[in-house]
Amino acid sequence: MSSDAPPFDGLPAEILPTILTPDDLRALPENALPRVAAEIRRCICEQVQQSGGHLAPNLGVVELTIALHYVFDFGRDRLLFDVGHQCYPHKLLTGRHARFGTLRQSGGISGFPSPAESRYDLFQVGHAGTSISTAVGVAKGDRLGAEGFDSEERPRGRRVVALIGDASIANGVAMEGLNAAGTLGRQILVVLNDNGMSISRTQGALARQLDELRVSTPYLGAKRRAHDLAGRILGGDLVESLYHRFSDAAKDLLAANSWFARFGLVTLGPMDGHDLPRLIRVLREVAVLDRPVLLHVHTVKGKGYAFAEGDATRFHAPAPFRLAGDRVEIAKNGRSFTAAFSDALRDVMQRDDDIVACTAAMPGGTGLEPLLDEFPDRAFDTGICESHAMDTMAGMARAGRRPFFAVYSTFLQRAFDQAFQEVALQGLGVRLCLDRAGLVGGDGAVHHGFCDVSILRVLPRAVLMAAMDEPSLRGALELMRTLDDRLSVVRYPRDTVSERFAGGLCPPFEIGRARPLVVAEDPDVAILAYGVSAMDAAAALEMFGDDVRVSLYDARFAKPVDTDLLTQLLASGVPIVTVEDHGLPGGFGAAALEAAAGAGLDTRLITRLAIPERWIAHGARDEQKRACGIDAAAIAAAVRAAATVRVRI
C-alpha cells in the first residue's frame, strides 16, 4: 500500500474511529483527509481478508466518497448508490466503523447499503443501473414537498447525488434515468465513477468512448473554449452567471463534445477521482447549481494495494485471503459449481460447433472467462445488460445457433420480459444457466436467487431443471443442447459440488423424470429434493434408524414435474416431503402440489420445505439454510412428522 500521510498536530493517531458521523469528517481540516483515506483503505483490506467481500471497487472510491461527504450533508441531502458494492467507505464514515468487523456476517452489517442500518442509506441496492432513476424520483418528490434545493428560495433544501460506476452507466435503466434527469430543471448531480471496469473489463461502444475520453486532450476543454461551450450547452443569460461562478478548476473540466450533454446535463470531466483537494473544490461549485450536472471522475479500481490494482477482476469480490509477503493466498473450499459448469460447457462447445455462450459482465463469476479466450468467436460478454444479452441470444437462436446464457439467478430477473417475448413466445432454444441460485451467503437479500422457478415456470413449454452435483449438471447441459424449440434452464448454487452420489451411474436426463437416489421398500415417507437440497436430504437420512423407511429422489425437473412418480407415491398413501433452495411461492413444491391436484391426488400428503416468505439476511449459507428450515435437521424433523401422518391415515 502507498505510505500513510504523516500525523497532524492536534489529531488522534487514528482518526477513523473518531468519525461517528459525517459531521465529524467535515470538522477535520482538509489536509487531514489523506490520512482518513489511508485508514479507510487499511480498514477495508484487513476486514475483507477475514470475511471476504468487495475489495477492489471500494478501494477505488475512497477519496471520492470522502469528498462527497465533506461537501454534502447526506443526513439531509440525498445519496443514491448504484449496485451498492462500493459502499464500504460510506459505511465507515456514517457511524459503522465499530461494527465493521461484522461485515457480511449473521447479525452484522450488510455488504450493501441498508436503510435498516443507517439513515444515510436510502435504498437496499445490489443491482446495476438504478441510481439515476431513483435519484430523479427523489428529486421530484422533494420538489413536490417543497424540500428540494433552490439556490434562491431554498438554499438549505435537499440536494441529490447519484453515484454510478463499475460500467453501470451502460445499463438500459441508467440511460432511461439520464434521459429524465436532463429535464428536471433543478439541482441533481450524477457522479460517474469511471474505472474502465465492471467486474471485468467494460464492454461495448460506450466503454470505448470513455476510454478515448480519458486520454483525449480536446475533451479536457481548454479554458479558451469554455465560455463558448457553456453558451452552446446552457444558453441565455445563465451562461454568463454560471461561467463566472466557476473557478478555473471547473472551467477546464467543461466537456467539449460531451455525449452526456446531449441528455441536457452540464458535463464536467474527466478528472482525477483520487485528487481530494480538486474534487472538493469542484463539488462545492456544482453543489449550488440549479441544473442537472454530470461529473465524470476517473478512478483506479483497487487503488492503494498493488495486488488489487494489478488484478482488479480477481479482487473484485474475493473470498477471505491472506497476504504472505508478495503473495496473496485466497481461501479455497473445494470445487465450485461455477468451475464445474465452466468445464462442462467447454466440453459441449468442443463437441457442438453451433453452441455459443454469453454472460452479462460476469465472465469470472459464471465461469465463462476461460471460454472467452478459447472460443473468441462463440463466447462473449455483453456488459451489464441482461435484457440485451437475452435478446442477443434469441437472435442467435433464430440464426440457427444454440445459445447458452450464463447469468446469476438474481440478475436473470432483469431479463424476464425478453425471456417471455423474444424467447419462449417465439419457440426459440435459448438455454439459461443460473449460477448463484438459492441462498448466496454473505451478499444477502439483494443477491439471493429465490424466484427463478416462480417467474419462469409460467412460460409455456419451458423446461426447468436443477443440478444436485457435477454429473447431474453435465446431464442437464446435454439435454439442453438438444432443445432447440423452447426455453430451457438449469440452476445451481454458490457452493461446492458434493461427491456423495458421484460414484454411481448418473442416468441421462429425460424431460419430466426424477432420479431415484435411495429407494426403501414400502417407504413411510418419500423426499423429492430439487437440486442441491438432495444432499441435505441425504444427510437427513443418516439421522434415522430402522424406525422410519425413507425413499429419496432427485426431482430434477420443476417443469414438468414427474407426475407419474407423484401418482405412484400418493396413490399408495406415501407422504411426500419436497425440499428446495428456492422461495416457497411458485417453486418446485408448488409445482408438485399443482400437479397432484390436477391428477386428483391427495395433496394433504405433501409437505413443502423452501425459503420462507421473508427477506433472508446476509450470513453463512449453512446458517441461512438453518434459518429457512431447509437444512438436514429440519428435513429430518419434517420427515418424522410426515411419517406419523401416514400412520394416522
Q: Please give the C-alpha separations between residue 87 and each of 111, 162, 410, 473, in angstroms, as whole numbers.
A: 8, 13, 20, 35
Beta strands in 104-146, from DSSP E residues, in sequence order: none
Question: Which residues, at least 6 apart from 611, have a Cβ–Cβ distance to it below 8 Å?
Answer: 438, 439, 448, 450, 580, 581, 582, 583, 584, 628, 630
Question: Angle CA(286)–CA(291)–CA(297) in degrees, nearest 5?
Answer: 45
- Cell numbers of 493, please? 448454487
Dist. CA 250–CA 313, nearest whole Å: 33
CB atoms within 10 A of CB 67: 26
499 is catalytic: no
Q: Which strands form 525-530's sheet, in the order they lie side by side?
A: 515-518, 550-554, 525-530, 576-583, 606-611
CB atoms within 10 A of CB 257: 13
The answer to whether the CB of 367 falls within 8 A of the CB of 435 is yes
Name the catalytic one among 291, 301, 486, 556.
301
User: Can you list the alpha helix ranges (DSSP code H) found in 238-301?
Assistant: 238-245, 248-251, 276-286
Residue type, 520: A
Dist. CA 565–CA 118, nearest whole Å: 50
* Burial bucket for residue 45 (CB in 10 Å: 0-12, 13-18, 19+): buried
**How far is C-alpha 521 from the chain's CA centre?**
46
303 is catalytic: no
278 is catalytic: no
SS3 149: coil
CB atoms within 10 A of CB 50: 14
Pairing mode, strands 266-272 and 188-194 = unpaired
The answer to whether the CB of 480 falls within 8 A of the CB of 404 is yes
Name the catalytic one among 291, 414, 457, 491.
414
Q: Please give the C-alpha separations between residue 388 and each of 291, 375, 395, in angstroms, as whole numbers.
A: 32, 21, 10
Name the catalytic one among 39, 63, 117, 386.
386
The answer to whether the CB of 579 falls within 8 A of the CB of 592 is no
Residue type, 241: S
Dist. CA 456–CA 89, nearest whole Å: 38
Give 557's strand partners: 465
Angle between helices 172-181 and 131-144 (to 10 degrees): 30
- Cell numbers of 165, please? 460506476
Catalogue the active-site residues: 301, 386, 414
